[in-house]
Amino acid sequence: MLSGKELGLAIAQAIDKKLALGTARTKAEIARHFEIKPPSIHDWIKKGSISKDKLPELWKYFSDVVGPEHWGLEYFPNQEAIKHPAPPNEESGKVYDAYQVVTEERRIVIDYLLSIGDTAPSWVDSDVRAYVSAMDEKARKWIQSNKSAYKSKAS
């Protein structure tokens, strides 16, 4: 994991790539995403100091433009506690059956989406990471706007 000025440079490069790709319009927009004030972004870049609790979100947010190696990592550490699988039930049986009948391409995509801390396959490029990041963001917004209905379903 990079630190200090190297981390600051990596953050600056990731911001530049995100702005060039158009998935963020301004540094102020990026600051809002992290719920910080724009001058803090400049501190991140200049000093390379960022709160450790912001690192997982930093990696996730910029995953559409840079991979783990950009941050001096071999892979992204697990960002959530690993949930042990529940015993099989009717719902999980349906998911398993559906997985068995989808195309090989779809299974490979599903396998990638469910991988935790594994090295990304060679076909995963910045476009794929951008799509996944966009899906995550849309799902996050949907969950927020449907929180009560979603929680009762998940329980």
The 10 Å Cβ neighbour count of residue 65 is: 22
For 48, the token pair is 């390379």
d(C-alpha 66, C-alpha 15), whole Å: 10
**CA-based R_g, the chain, Å:** 18
pLDDT digits (tens, 9 = 90+) for 13-62: 999 998 988 888 999 999 999 999 999 999 999 998 898 888 989 998 99
Give SS3 for 64: coil
Element (H, E) at 39: helix 38-47
Averaged pLDDT score across all residues of the chain: 83
Confidence of residue 80 (pLDDT cuts 50, 70, 90): very low
pLDDT of residue 129: 85
d(C-alpha 5, C-alpha 17), whole Å: 18
pLDDT of residue 77: 77
Calculate the alpha carbon distances from 8 to 25, 48, 103 in Å.
20, 4, 43
Give SS3 for 81: coil
Structural domain boundaries of the chain?
4-154
pLDDT digits (tens, 9 = 90+) for 98-124: 888 889 888 888 888 887 556 778 888
* Residue among 66, 64, 42, 41 at smallest CA distance from 54: 41
